[in-house]
């Protein structure tokens, strides 16, 4: 399924809206990078790939803007661990970190 991801610059997050529910990834910018701090998907829309779509979008955003990533969110970190193409932008890319 393809989801439309919206960048909420005021709220510092990326959002997907499905059936009246909002899933999101929060972030904080730092010099030269972006800290991805929290991912949340309401249970009513979980299991559809929403969190993965958010993670991919956030990491693509970081790549396009030459930002290093601090994946404080455990879901984002696991996504990076499983998708080698994003490990080069992650400041915490080993499973032991």
Q: What is the CATH number of the domain that holds 40?
A: 3.40.630.30
Q: Residues 45, 38: contact at Cβ < 8 Å?
A: no
Q: What is the pLDDT of residue 83?
A: 96
User: Does residue 95 fall inside a structural domain?
Assistant: no
Provide the pLDDT confidence category of residue 1 given band limits of 50, 70 and 90: confident
User: Does residue 94 fall inside a structural domain?
Assistant: no
Provide the pLDDT confidence category of residue 93 given band limits of 50, 70 and 90: low
Lowest mean pLDDT among 5-9, 15-19, 72-76, 93-97: 93-97
User: Does residue 27 fall inside a structural domain?
Assistant: yes
Provide the domain count of the chain.
Answer: 1
User: Does residue 52 fall inside a structural domain?
Assistant: yes
Domain range enclosing 75: 5-89
* C-alpha to C-alpha distance for 80 and 65, rounded to whole angstroms: 17
User: Does residue 68 fall inside a structural domain?
Assistant: yes
User: Does residue 97 fall inside a structural domain?
Assistant: no
Which DSSP helix (H) or strand (E) runs through 30?
strand 21-30
User: Does residue 96 fall inside a structural domain?
Assistant: no
Average the pLDDT over 63-89 and give the result.
Answer: 96
User: Does residue 80 fall inside a structural domain?
Assistant: yes
């Amino acid at each position: 399924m393809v989801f439309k991801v919206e960048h909420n610059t005021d709220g510092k997050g990326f959002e997907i809206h499905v059936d009246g529910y909002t899933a999101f990834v929060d972030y904080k910018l730092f010099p030269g990078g972006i800290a991805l701090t929290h991912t949340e998907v309401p249970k009513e829309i979980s299991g559809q790939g929403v969190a993965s779509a958010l993670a991919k979008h956030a990491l693509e955003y970081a790549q396009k803007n030459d930002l290093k990533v601090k994946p404080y969110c455990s879901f984002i970190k696991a996504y990076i661990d499983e998708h080698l193409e994003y490990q080069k932008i992650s400041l915490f890319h080993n499973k032991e970190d």
